[in-house]
Amino acid sequence: MSAGSAPGERLAREHVAVVVVLYNSAPLLADLVASLPGGLRGVSYQLVGVDNDSDDDGPDVLESLAPDALVVRTGRNGGYAAGLNAGVAVADPHTAVLLLNSDVRLEEGCVAELLLRLRDRGAGIAVPRLTGAQGELIASIRREPSCVRSFFDAVLSAKVAGRVLRLGEVVTDPRAYEHEQLVDWAEGSTQLVSAECWQTCGPWDESFFLYCEETDYGLRARDAGLGTLYVPTARAIHLEGGSSTSVDWLWSLQTVNRLKLYRRRHGGVPSFLFWAVTLLREVTRAALGRTKNRAAARALLDPRLLSES
């Protein structure tokens, strides 16, 4: 696509599959759907909702709110990645996929800006600047997990380590969110993935169920030369919340999945060191009485996890 073409001409060549995974999401859908026309202004799109065996009437609500949407009832909860893959598999032919959480609200022109910058920079994934419900900045940019970063997250806290040089995995310095940049990966609530990237990297890894699937995909895309581009001029709101699932269980799952991802990419001694520093973080936080860290420490010491190759 020629960068010299007018933006309208360039966008006319695009068709975006907007894939939203539903899981007890009915109360969130009205505001999500209402944000799509403005957020996708000037862009042709198809909305695909994939229901992961919800207990509520989310699929019916979505069909009522967006009669043209394609709603897939999977009949099972295979996890977030499985839902995304199912949606992309049934979508009409497209040039890019917009992966959205149901608690995201796109701001005006968000997707057009992501598309134009994605094409201009030759990236595989583009992500916007995210803010919370009260307008607070969400630290969405991430660095690749490493033993050094996990150690400093443990001894300094993720917030402090993320501001000092490149010591933390989460980029927490607000100044970093003011300029466009290629990043290792980004949180997965709002991601525009080019069709070329999807074809090259394949679907998201369903073995993670929840958490680290976006880490895995972002790193695979980067390894293939199709990195993640952070675009501060594209904006969205992420409400971050609403799940009644146990916080302890979710934190344990995230902690274990980080170890599994690291082990797959590095193996051997580096993975043992990563496990050790991750355990250090959880044990030190558990000593302060934090139940989620106590649960994660127990999970890290599970013989089944330790015996995995």
Q: What is the pLDDT of residues 136-153, one digit of tens each?
A: 999 999 999 999 988 888
Beta strands (DSSP E) in the chain are 15-22, 44-51, 70-73, 96-100, 104-106, 125-131, 141-142, 181-183, 185-186, 190-194, 228-238
Alpha-carbon distances, residue 213 vs 39, 42, 123, 203 (angstroms): 25, 30, 19, 10
Mean pLDDT over residues 2-31, rounded? 90
| pLDDT at position 191 | 98
* CA 91/CA 127 separation, integer angstroms: 21
Q: E strand or H helix at 232, and its extent?
A: strand 228-238
Is-above-0.95 flag for pTM? Answer: no
Residue 4 has pLDDT above 80, yes or no: no
Confidence of residue 211 (pLDDT cuts 50, 70, 90): confident
| pLDDT at position 244 | 46
Mean pLDDT over residues 229-235, rounded? 98
Coil vs helix vs strand at 117: helix
Cβ neighbours of residue 207 under 8 Å, at least 6 residues apart? none
Residue 309 has pLDDT above 80, yes or no: no
* CA 180/CA 250 separation, integer angstroms: 31
| pLDDT at position 57 | 95
| pLDDT at position 162 | 75
| pLDDT at position 241 | 59
Mean pLDDT over residues 229-242, rounded? 90
Confidence of residue 119 (pLDDT cuts 50, 70, 90): very high
* CA 114/CA 118 separation, integer angstroms: 6
Mean pLDDT over residues 98-107, rounded? 97
Mean pLDDT over residues 221-233, rounded? 97
More confident residue, 33 or 289: 33
More confident residue, 246 or 69: 69
* CA 130/CA 138 separation, integer angstroms: 5
Residue 293 has pLDDT above 80, yes or no: yes
Mean pLDDT over residues 107-124, rounded? 97
